[in-house]
Chain A
Amino acid sequence: MFSPENEKKIDEYISHYPVKRSAILPALHLAQIEHGYVTDEDVQYLARRLDMRVNEVEEVVTFYSMYSRKPIGQYKLQVCRTLSCNLAGCDKITEQINHKLGIKVNETTPDGRFTLQEVECLGYCDLAPVLQVNFDYYEQITPERTEEIIEKLK
């Protein structure tokens, strides 16, 4: 279900804990990186691999906001909306993306490349406003730089 490299990583994670189940969060991250979202097969497979029931895996997936059970864009554009980013003008970043890609919050471009999301504090408050694209952070972002970043990814 996973690439041999990620299979090895899951083994490694399992070895960190006295119970297999503890590896579920890191393993779900790997699933999402490899498949774009957490697929039905991932849920079934990880349940078997980590001695969990399928609904136990589902419960975990739905609790944590970083996981998606549905296909989403190849690039997740996440704009922080919380206090410090709000003070630093994060609304302008979201508007720029609305305008540039023609998508609103929680929408994906028709070509499946970009999804726009508003998220809560990302721990970059002193460097606000911040945009996260998959696992990359862009600090003190402006509407102009947002446009450049999207151009590069297109």
Chain B
Amino acid sequence: MTKVLTTRFDLKGEACDIDVYIKTGGYQALTKVLKESTPDQVIEEVKKSSLRGRGGAGFPTGMKWSFVPKQSARPKYVVCNADESEPGTGKDRDLMRYDPHQLLEGMAIAAYALNAPNNYIYIRGEYWYIIAILEKAIAQAKERGYLGKNILGTDFECNIYVHPGAGAYICGEETALLESLEGKRGHPRLKPPFPAIVGLYGGPTVVNNVETLAAVPWIINNGGEAYKALGTEKSGGTKMFTVSGHVNKPGNYEVPMGYPMRDLIYKDCGGIKGGKQLKGVIPGGSSMPVFTPEDVEKATMDYESIASLGSMLGSGGVIVMDETVDMFEMTMNTIHFYKHESCGWCTPCREGTRWLYKVCERMKKYEGKPGDVDLLDDLAGKILGKSFCALGDAAAMPVQGMIKKFRPDFEKRIKQNFVQLTAAD
């Protein structure tokens, strides 16, 4: 299987050193575009690759770049989203700590395509040691003339700064992230205007996930067509998946788009721990509706297949749960997360997540009232599509998905059912 993103992972961090990175083919793509390509040609190549955003929404990257106006009174920016806080996801962490220059090179190429001299990596504050890795890599790249002014003797200037967040999931949402970078609370902005038109400090801004930008050097070196050919017709290239939960070998895996989910779980990850039976899999991070074992048999790891089964590829966080797991408990855990992370700006999300949690609290004690399962479903429905930003949907979708697929785990939390069940024992 061809690797695009993880070719240097075996070096266990040695590629943080620029010499190792260069020896293994690094900075060739940046050199190539500066010598041979116009900014428009770079954007065309990325369009050809059919690369889609790896941060969750899956928006076509080349198209996003082409929305940025050529001329702009205000400076343009490339902002890398390294907030990585979707539960179940830890891929950007390894992309940055094992191969920081690959990200910097991808960002510099994006900055060249958009003509953006000053650019930021917004990284979650907890990744403090990775900030140090990135800053060292930036200093090295500057020293060698791959970043800074007059890159490789041209008049292209590109600076990259690392900006730490401070513990707020909502700052992964691109407009909240921009507010946070401007030194404010992380409340999302109204869209439109989209960041590509009015973004950071009012300038046109491209926000891309770490994994999206890290794929760019390979695309330039090998061509957009070659990248696309690695995956399926509609989902090009490869994708990283963080597999966690009840598998024998949890970890980060890079596989071609279209890879069978079954193989990822049973071959790459060595199957279910302790020989237990599979109960369910969350395919794309905590925001996404859950799969049953039957869904897993049918699913391939690409946007279309996962969507056709009623969920989403999201951030690529694959959470595997064995037969011992109580899906009500998992749902309550998820609701706790979204209640905690709701930024409080709009009522459906702020109040809705609190209500959901309140109902769960009585169900946890097996004191649910008749109708509580429908009440949960209903409350989720009142958040979905009615909130100011996509966090509301992210809170609602997994609740509805869990109730739909694992209703008995909820019903047994209703007091009168519980009394009947224990009486029958």
Give A residues with C-beta under 8 Å from B: 16-19, 21-26, 28-29, 50, 52, 59-60, 63-67, 81-84, 86-88, 119-128, 132, 135-137
Whether B333 pairs with A84 at a CB distance below 8 angstroms is no
Whether B87 pairs with A120 at a CB distance below 8 angstroms is yes
Cβ proximity bits B145-172 to A, threshold 8 Å, 1 near / 0 not:
0000000000000000101111111000
Q: Which of B85, B250, B286 contacts A83 (CB 8 A)?
A: B286
Asked if B184 is at the interface (CB within 8 A of a chain A CB), the reply is yes
Asked if B186 is at the interface (CB within 8 A of a chain A CB), the reply is yes
Task: Name the residue of chain B whose CB is nearest to the CB of A24.
Answer: B183
Give B residues with C-beta under 8 Å from A: 75, 84-90, 92-93, 120, 124-129, 161, 163-169, 180-186, 201, 242-246, 250-252, 282, 286, 317, 319, 321, 325, 329-330, 333-334, 336-337, 340-341, 343
Residues of B within 8 A of A65 (CB): 166-168
Q: Which of B87, B169, B180, B336 contacts A84 (CB 8 A)?
A: B87
Whether A64 pairs with B168 at a CB distance below 8 angstroms is yes
The minimal Cβ–Cβ distance linking A32 to chain B, given in whole angstroms, is 9
Whether A64 pairs with B244 at a CB distance below 8 angstroms is no
Whether B166 pairs with A84 at a CB distance below 8 angstroms is no
Task: Name the residue of chain A whose CB is nearest to the CB of B320.
Answer: A87
Task: Name the residue of chain A whose CB is nearest to the CB of B159.
Answer: A16
Q: How far is the CA of A67 from the CA of B164 in the complex (A)?
A: 13
Whether B84 pairs with A123 at a CB distance below 8 angstroms is yes
Q: How far is the CA of A109 from the CA of B120 in the complex (A)?
A: 39
Whether A64 pairs with B166 at a CB distance below 8 angstroms is yes
Whether B163 pairs with A128 at a CB distance below 8 angstroms is no
Q: How far is the CA of A65 from the CA of B166 in the complex (A)?
A: 7
List 18 A-B residue pairs with CB atoms under 8 Å apart, sorted by A's residue number. Answer: A22-B163, A25-B165, A25-B180, A29-B164, A63-B186, A64-B168, A65-B167, A82-B286, A83-B319, A84-B244, A88-B244, A88-B245, A121-B87, A123-B89, A127-B250, A128-B244, A135-B126, A135-B128
Q: How far is the CA of A18 from the CA of B159 in the complex (A)?
A: 13
Whether B185 pairs with A126 at a CB distance below 8 angstroms is no
Q: How far is the CA of A23 from the CA of B163 in the complex (A)?
A: 9
Q: Contacts A82-B286, A84-B319, A87-B321 known; A63 to B87 CB distance under 8 Å?
A: no
Task: Name the residue of chain B whose CB is nearest to the CB of A80.
Answer: B87
The minimal Cβ–Cβ distance linking B163 to chain A, given in whole angstroms, is 7
Residues of B within 8 A of A50 (CB): 183
Residues of A within 8 A of B185 (CB): 59-60, 63
Whether B319 pairs with A125 at a CB distance below 8 angstroms is yes
Whether B341 pairs with A26 at a CB distance below 8 angstroms is no
Whether B125 pairs with A25 at a CB distance below 8 angstroms is yes
Residues of A within 8 A of B251 (CB): 126
The minimal Cβ–Cβ distance linking A31 to chain B, given in whole angstroms, is 11
Q: Which of B163, B169, B250, B329 contacts A26 (CB 8 A)?
A: B163
Whether B164 pairs with A125 at a CB distance below 8 angstroms is no
Q: How far is the CA of A95 from the CA of B315 in the complex (A)?
A: 31
Q: How far is the CA of A24 from the CA of B165 in the complex (A)?
A: 10
Task: Name the residue of chain A whose CB is nearest to the CB of B88.
Answer: A125
Residues of B within 8 A of A23 (CB): 183
List the 5 shortest-distance A-B pairs measured between CB atoms, nearest first.
A64-B166, A21-B183, A66-B167, A65-B167, A84-B244
Q: How far is the CA of A2 from the CA of B332 in the complex (A)?
A: 43
A23, A66, A121, A135: residue with the most chain B Cβ atoms closer than 10 Å: A121
A60, A88, A120: residue with the most chain B Cβ atoms closer than 10 Å: A120
Task: Name the residue of chain B whose CB is nearest to the CB of A136.
Answer: B129
Q: Beyond A16-B120, A123-B90, list 15 extra A-B contacts (CB 8 Å).
A: A21-B182, A23-B183, A25-B166, A25-B183, A60-B183, A64-B125, A65-B167, A67-B166, A82-B87, A83-B333, A122-B126, A123-B127, A125-B319, A128-B250, A137-B129
A59, A65, A82, A127: residue with the most chain B Cβ atoms closer than 10 Å: A82
Whether A123 pairs with B245 at a CB distance below 8 angstroms is no
Whether A126 pairs with B286 at a CB distance below 8 angstroms is no
Q: How far is the CA of A136 from the CA of B340 in the complex (A)?
A: 23
Residues of B within 8 A of A84 (CB): 87-88, 244-245, 319
Q: How far is the CA of A84 from the CA of B124 in the complex (A)?
A: 19
